Amino acid sequence: MTTATKDTLEWPTLVMLGVAYGGFALGTLIWPVSGILSVIVTALAIAQFSSLQHEVLHGHPFRNQTLNEALVFPGLTLFVPYIRFKDAHLQHHHDPNLTDPYDDPESNYMDPAVWAKTPRWAQALLRANNTLIGWILLGPAIGTWFFSGPDFKAIRAGDRRIRLAWGLHAIGVALVVGWLWAFTEMPVWAWVLAAYFGYGLLKIRTYLEHRAHEAFRARTVIIEDRGPLALLFLNNNLHVVHHMHPTVSWYRLPGLYAARGEHYRRRNESYVFENYGQIFRRYLFRAKDPVAHPIWPVKKSDRNDADAV
């Protein structure tokens, strides 16, 4: 896993942050004009804001991380506290554990033994969730349930880090509610709906970011899309490039891929899609993967597969 020199001041990231906040303000303010348009614009802004939170946790746009995190303090995204997102995502970046049902917090797979004991109604729901349409529509609710439930148990057990995360998040959410109450006519329920739709948009990106594979270097996807969704996701669709260079700014990832595309494709054993249209056509109503991890438990020798070029 390599790194690169960080820009002193990342203007593209600051501009995108202004776009996200401006889009959120616009979306909430146009509620009297069109409720549907208001929710759509707000959802897009929230999805963009979440992508920017991802940039921030990787150390952008400033060298001062406290300043970075202050930039994304308001709780626009509602469902996941920033600190919890940060902690889980940085743990996820330990590539040998990718897709591990226990050690990868962002794994989409379950331990087959746990899956076998899951009630049939829940299995049916999770199978539906593994289609792209299910991942978008059901995924935010299911993801929130699986993420928040253990957090609240940990808080009751005295976990101070998680308690801090949710406490700060509550303040950030209160700031958003204050904005809605003082400056807009958008009801809180409409913002909650927009946050859910924004989360659903992000689910398009996460749907097939990682696959079960014996070699951990081959578990991370490349989606060669350069359209609106790539911008919304801040080029995180070039996901293997991001995992190999986690400190590189979003706007530099396409250049890295253009310069060494064959290297990245060889490294992930051609786990590549041309664009998001291809993914929608192939998986909208069909699951890419089983819910139970198909090669679990991966042999220790395979999990430590050399991170070869």
Mean pLDDT calculated for residue range 57-72: 97
Determine contact, residues 291/130, Cβ cutoff 8 Å. yes
CA dist., res. 223 & res. 239, Å (int):
8
* C-beta of residue 272 within 8 angstroms of C-beta of residue 265: yes
**Torsion angle of the four alpha carbons 210, 214, 216, 222, in this order, in degrees rounded to the nearest 10:** -40
**What is the rounded end-to-end Cα distance, in angstroms, of the chain?**
11
**Radius of gyration of the chain from its Cα atoms, rounded to whole angstroms:** 19
Nearest to 139 by CA among 129, 148, 147, 149: 129
pLDDT digit string, tens, across residues 122-136: 999 999 999 999 999
pLDDT of 9 over the 90 cut = no
Which phi and psi (to 5°) does residue 144 adopt?
-65, -40
| Interval 6-26 mean pLDDT | 92
Mean of all residue pLDDT scores within the chain? 93
3-state class of 103 per DSSP?
coil
85-101: average pLDDT: 96
In which band, very low, low, confident or very high, does the pLDDT at 23 lie, cut at 50, 70 and 90?
A: very high
Task: Label residue 124 exposed, middle or buried (CB < 10 Å: 0-12, 13-18, 19+).
Answer: exposed
Tell me the mean pLDDT in the region 238-258. Answer: 97
Domain ranges of the chain: 11-291
Buried b (16+ CB within 10 A) or exposed e, 225-264: beeebbbbbbbbbbbbbbbbbbebbbbbbbebbeeeeeeb
d(CA 37, CA 45): 12
Per-residue pLDDT reduced to its tens digit, 200-223: 999 999 999 999 999 999 999 999
φ, ψ dihedrals at 90, nearest 5°: -65, -35
Whole-number Å distance between alpha carbons of 26 and 48: 14
pTM of the model: 0.93
Q: How confident is the model at residue 7 (pLDDT cuts 50, 70, 90)?
A: low
Q: How far apart are CA 306 and CA 309, in angstroms?
A: 9
Better-predicted residue by pLDDT, 273 or 302: 273
